[in-house]
C-alpha cells in the first residue's frame, strides 16, 4: 500500500523545482512524488499569494502562464488550510505563513519542506528536500 505525505513547500523549493533540469535532483524527485500522488501539497491562501509574488519577480524567467499553471496544479492536487495565526518572532516574516500552516491542527500529518531549514524552529517535521526524499524512500 502506497503511503501519502502531506507537504507544505517553502517558496524556495518551488523555485528550485522550476529551475532544475536534473530529473534526479531532490526538488525534481519531490515534484515527481506530487505528480504520482505520493505527496499531497498543503497550502493556504497566503502561501499561494507568496508563490505568485516571488515567482513573478523580474529576476525570474517564469511566464505568467507557467506561474498560473503551477498555481492551478497545486490548488487542484493540494489541500487548502486556513491557518491559525501565531504570535511568533521570525527573522523573515514571509516564513511565518508556512510555519502557521504546519502548526495548524488538522487531520493531516504535515511536514514542511524548505531549503532554508535554519529559518525555522528545529522540529522533526521540518525537512530539507533531500531529507524528505530520503524519508519517502525509507518508508
The total domain count for the chain is 1
Q: Are 77 and 34 in contact (CB under 8 A)?
A: yes
Closest CA to 66 of 55, 57, 80, 54: 55
- What is the CATH number for 75? 3.40.50.11490
The residue range of the domain holding 78 is 5-138
Q: What distances in angstroms separate CA 42 from CA 25, 39, 57, 58, one per listed residue? A: 22, 9, 23, 27
Output the tens digit of pLDDT for each of the chain's 139 residues: 779 999 999 999 999 999 988 999 999 999 999 999 999 999 999 999 999 999 999 999 999 999 999 999 999 999 999 998 887 777 777 899 999 999 999 888 999 999 999 889 889 999 999 999 999 999 8
Amino acid at each position: 500500500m502506497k503511503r501519502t505525505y502531506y507537504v507544505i513547500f517553502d517558496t524556495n523549493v518551488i523555485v528550485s523545482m522550476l529551475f532544475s533540469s536534473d530529473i534526479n535532483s531532490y526538488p525534481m524527485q519531490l515534484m515527481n512524488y506530487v505528480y504520482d500522488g505520493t505527496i499531497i501539497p498543503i497550502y493556504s491562501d497566503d502561501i499561494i499569494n507568496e508563490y505568485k509574488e516571488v515567482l513573478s519577480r523580474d529576476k525570474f524567467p517564469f511566464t505568467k502562464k507557467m506561474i498560473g499553471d503551477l498555481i492551478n496544479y497545486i490548488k487542484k492536487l493540494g489541500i487548502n488550510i486556513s491557518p491559525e495565526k501565531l504570535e511568533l518572532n521570525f527573522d523573515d516574516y514571509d516564513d511565518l505563513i508556512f510555519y502557521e500552516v504546519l502548526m495548524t491542527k488538522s487531520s493531516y500529518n504535515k511536514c514542511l519542506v524548505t531549503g532554508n531549514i535554519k529559518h525555522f524552529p528545529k522540529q522533526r517535521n521540518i525537512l530539507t528536500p533531500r531529507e524528505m526524499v530520503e524519508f519517502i524512500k525509507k518508508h
